Amino acid sequence: MTKIISSYKTIASPGRGILAIDESNATCGKRLASIGLDNTETNRQGLVPLPGSNNESWCQGLDGLASRSTEYYKQGARFAKWRTVVSIPCGPSALAVKEAAWGLARYAAISQDNGLVPIVEPEILLDGDHPIERTLEVAEKVWSEVFFYLAENNVVLEGILLKPSMASPETIAKYTLTMLKRRVPPAVPGIMFLSGGQSEVEATLNLNAMNQAPNPWHVSFSYARALQNTVLKTWQGRPENTEAAQKSLLVRAKANSLAQLGKYSA
Ligand code: 13P
């Protein structure tokens, strides 16, 4: 646990967040295609269909995870992320919620056992035309199951980080934080939000809004698209654009660092 504690303290410290760049090959392909580059990787993993559900998915990869984690720790990794999705238009079925929560809990236990801080990400997809009250209801169900199975698997809550999605600025206080305060114990050190397809500035403003009020946890970012979009457009796969692309990443990183402190203004 000592190894884990020093890692999460580094991640969940003032002004810090994460650049999420761990997309599946299929998703990387879409990002590269957006700037006209090929994705030549043939080996694609990720979510697979969950038999017996309402056309829902589950996240494979628990087999052999312990030995892979040991190897990645030796190579310098200090945290890991497991993302699974819950689809509201597809139900979600009780089976899909249970499978998502159980898989996340097993992964978290295996990660901690191998010195890695597990980032726990049950992504409740924003797709669908249901009201936000329905999202709140599903999110509360999903998070309560996640914490039930984390406890059953003896996961130390002080040594995990969470990665949820967020609502828009006006509804943040009412929904996102209300839900998290109802379901996430203060023992959890950090909540690192995903950007979920919001614009870069929107994602920064939302994070800033959430850090205007006191929270029991370190509330920060683990953004992919909201940190990568301008960088990709600037880079275009051309070496002569590399420096400009790096500068654009620093602009977004600084803005989100300020938002983590609740001090960002557009
Ligand atoms: P976005 O920030 O693009 O939503 O992605 C974050 C992520 O890692 C999703 O798994």
Q: What is the phi/psi pair of residue 35, to 5°?
A: -115, 20
Residue of 59, 121, 161, 223 best suited for mutating to test ligand 1, as the one with most atoms within 8 Å of CB:
223
Question: Which tops the pLDDT comparison, 143 or 37?
Answer: 143
Peptide bond preceding 92 in cis form (omega within 30 of 0): yes
| Banded pLDDT at 170 (limits 50, 70, 90) | low
Among candidate residues 163, 181, 247, 263, the one labeled active-site is 163
* Residue 196 CB less than 6 A away from ligand 1: yes
pLDDT at position 132 over 90: no
Minimum mean pLDDT range among 38-42, 79-83, 114-118, 162-166: 38-42
Q: What is the phi/psi pair of residue 216, to 5°?
A: -75, -15
The closest-lying atom of ligand 1 relative to the alpha carbon of residue 121 is 10
pLDDT, mean of residues 151-174: 86
163 is catalytic: yes
Q: What is the share, in percent, of the chain residues with pLDDT greater than 90?
A: 65
| Phi-psi domain of 197 (left: phi exceeds 0; alpha: psi -120 through 50; beta: other) | left
| Banded pLDDT at 40 (limits 50, 70, 90) | low
| Banded pLDDT at 44 (limits 50, 70, 90) | very low
* Residue 225 CB less than 6 A away from ligand 1: yes
Q: What angle do CA 133, 259, 14 make, to 5 degrees?
A: 110
**Residue 169 pLDDT:** 67
Q: Name the amino acid, one letter, at 168.
A: S
**Residue 42 pLDDT:** 36
| Banded pLDDT at 91 (limits 50, 70, 90) | confident
Q: What ipTM describes this predicted complex?
A: 0.94
